[in-house]
Copies of this chain bind each other. A is one copy, B any other.
Amino acid sequence: MSKQIRVTVWNEFRHEQKNEVCRALYPQGMHAVIAAALQQDPQLSVRTATLDEPEHGLTTEVLDQTDVLTWWGHLAHHEVSDEIVDRVQQRVLAGMGLIVLHSGHFAKVFKRLMGTSCSLRWREAAEKERLWVVNPSHPIAAGFGPYIELPQTEMYGEHFDIPAPDDLVFVSWFEGGEVFRSGCCFNRGLGKIFYFRPGHETYPIYHNAEVMQVIRNAVHWAAFAGNDAVIPFYGKCCEPLEPLKVRE
């Protein structure tokens, strides 16, 4: 339980290079701020990777050494190569955890793993959001009060076109009148996936201590702790474990 968890923080890293407000908040990129907050937990070993690195920084070697991958993208989902999407999906099914942040709902790899459009309604109006805990037994909900309040966020509203989560942890209230399932757990293959809504690039979301507590909790939850003995039998023709009746 207390062994090191290797985290790769992936960022598209484009807004920070184009948008003054975003750059002021995240001069080294959102990935740098997320990584620093995760690194405060001594059990986590954190590296970063970005879209414009070769293979988007997600080589087979990097993924093989990644227990949990966090994903932030928005402007350039279409620039992520299908080969890397395949590779990330395969690693998730083989047990890698995946934390999908905010506009990552439209990332190719999230849509691939969900099988749905992952669409939603939205609005960018600096409005208030309140994330309510709806499953208080869940470890991702630990370390704060009955809700988390964010003074200014982009709104995402229902219907959010995802499969029903295997566990629903947070539901958001928005000042403008909408709700959203904003903390959603999914098991896919041997991997665990957490979608977490907050994170617009021009608000200081990843400087918020409670948001980062959720992401740290999610990393611990998503690190593989299951049974990989099932893998060798996938797609295999297997001898019977019991004698079959002879038939003629």
Which residues of A come within 8 Å of B, CB atoms?
A: 1-2, 43, 89, 93, 95, 112-117, 119-128, 130, 132-139, 141-146, 152, 155, 157-161, 163-164, 166-168, 171-179, 181, 186-192, 220, 224-230, 233-242, 244-245, 247
Contacts and interface: CB of A to CB of B under 8 A. Distances in A.
Given A113-B115, A159-B146, A240 B127 contact: yes
A179 B172 contact: yes
Contact of A173 (B122, B178, B188, B244): B178
Given A117-B234, A188-B116, A146 B229 contact: yes
Q: Is the interface of A mostly helix, strand, loop or mixed?
A: loop
B158 A190 contact: no
A247 B152 contact: yes
Q: Which of A89, A186, A238 has the largest count of B CB atoms less than 10 A from its CB?
A: A238
Given A181-B171, A242-B175, A134 B159 contact: yes
A177 B173 contact: yes
Given A116-B189, A152-B247, A157 B176 contact: no
Contact of A134 (B137, B181, B242, B245): B181
Contacts of A189: 116-117, 136-137, 161
A234 to B, nearest CB: 4
